Amino acid sequence: LQKDSDLRQPHPNLRLRNPSMDSLGGSELFEDTSGAGAGSYMSKSQAGPQASGFPGQSILSDPVSNLAMAYGSSLATQGREMVDKNLDRFIPISKLKYYFAVDTLYVGKKLGLVVFPYMHENWEVNFQQNTPVAPRFDVNAPDLYIPVMAFITYVLVAGLALGTQNRFSPELLGVQASSALVWLIMEVLVVLLSLYLVAVNTDLTTIDLLAFSGYKYVGMIIGVVAGLLFGRLAYYLCLLWCCAAIFIFMIRTLRLKLLSEAAAEGKLVRGTRNQLRMYLTMSIAAAQPVFMFWLTYHLIR
C-alpha cells in the first residue's frame, strides 16, 4: 500500500514537460500581447483622424492658405509699386533706359563723331510719334553709355599715368576721380542756372546735359594715352585736336536745342534774347576744352 501511494504522489523534483514547449524551443506558453495591442491601438488612434478625417478639414484649410497667399502677393505688389514710385521721383529709371539703349555700331559711330565732327551734316535728332528714337537708331541722340564708360576709363588711365611717375596711391586716385566728378556736377548746375536765368524754352533735360558734358572724357583719354606713349608733344597735339572737335560737336549739337525757335522758323531770330542764347551756347562749348586741359595737364610730365 505504501508503494502504491508513493507511485500516485508526484515527485517534487520532477516536472511535466509540455511537448509544445519543446517544439517552441523554450518559448513562453502564452505570448505577451499587451504591448502589441497597445501599440496597435495607439497607431490606430493616431492614424484614425488623419486617415478617416472629417469632411470640413480640407474646406477650412484651403481657403485660409489661399487667403494668406493672396494677401501676401497684394502686399508685395503694393510695396513694389511704392518703391518704384518713390525711386522714379529721384531717379527716372524709365528715362535712364533710353540713354543706355545702344549697340556696338552706335558706339563706334558716336566715338567717330565726337573725335571727327567736321564732315557730319545732319545734326537733328529723329523723332517717332513725338518721341525721340533710341540712340542705337540715331547717332545724333545723346546717350549715357559712352560718358559713363569714358569717365571710368579716364580714372583708370589717370591711375596708370600716376603709376608711371611713381606717384600712385589710392588716396590720390580717389582725389582724381572725386575732383573730376565734382567739376562735372558743377558744370551741369551752372548750365541749368544759366538756362533758367536766360529763360530758354528748350527740351534739354539734366540727363542730356550730363551726356553732352561727359563726351569730353573721350578726348581727355586720347590726349593722356598719347602723352604716355609718345611724350608731352603728342599730348598737346592730340589734346588740341580733341578740344577743337568737342567745341564743334557742342556748337552744332546745342544750337538746335537752345535755338529751337530760330531752328523751327528756319531763320535767324534777331534780338537780345537770341543773342543771349548764342552766347550761352558758345560758353558751354568753350568750357569743354578748359576742363579737358585742367583735368589732364598734371598727368603728363
Q: What pLDDT is recorded for position 85? A: 59
SS (HEC) of 10-68: CCCCCCCCCHHHHHCCCCCCCCCCHHHHHHHHHHHHHHHHHHHCCCHHHHHHHHHHHHH
Distance, in Å, from the CA atom of 288 to the CA atom of 296, rounded to the nearest integer, reads 13
Q: Which residues of 126-138 are buried (b: 16+ CB within 10 A; e: fewer)?
A: eeeeeebbbbbeb
Tell me how far apart the alpha carbons of residues 107 and 103 are, in angstroms, rounded to a whole number.
6
Q: What is the pLDDT along the chain (301 residues), one digit of tens a residue?
A: 444 444 455 454 444 444 444 444 444 444 454 444 444 444 444 444 444 444 445 544 567 677 777 777 777 777 776 665 555 555 566 778 889 999 999 999 999 999 999 989 889 888 888 788 999 999 999 999 999 999 999 999 999 999 999 989 999 999 999 999 999 999 999 999 998 888 777 888 889 999 999 999 999 999 999 999 999 999 999 999 999 999 999 999 998 887 765 544 444 555 666 788 888 999 999 999 999 999 999 999 8
pLDDT at 26: 45
- Per-residue pLDDT at 271: 60
Domain boundaries of the chain, sorted by first residue: 145-297
pLDDT at position 42 is 46
- 3-state SS of the chain is CHHHHHHHCCCCCCCCCCHHHHHCCCCCCCCCCHHHHHHHHHHHHHHHHHHHCCCHHHHHHHHHHHHHHHHHHHHHHHHHHHHHHHHHHHCCHHHHHHHCCCCHHHHHHHHHHHHCCCCCCCCCCCECCCCECCHHHCCCCCCCHHHHHHHHHHHHHHHHHHHHCCCCCHHHHHHHHHHHHHHHHHHHHHHHHHHHHHCCCCCCCHHHHHHHHHCHHHHHHHHHHHHHHHCHHHHHHHHHHHHHHHHHHHHHHHHHHHCHHHHHHCCCCCCHHHHHHHHHHHHHHHHHHHHHHHCCHHHCC
- Calculate ∠ Cα 208-133-125, nearest 5°: 60
Q: How far is CA 192 from CA 185, 187, 203, 254, 284, in A?
A: 11, 9, 12, 14, 11
pLDDT at 16: 45
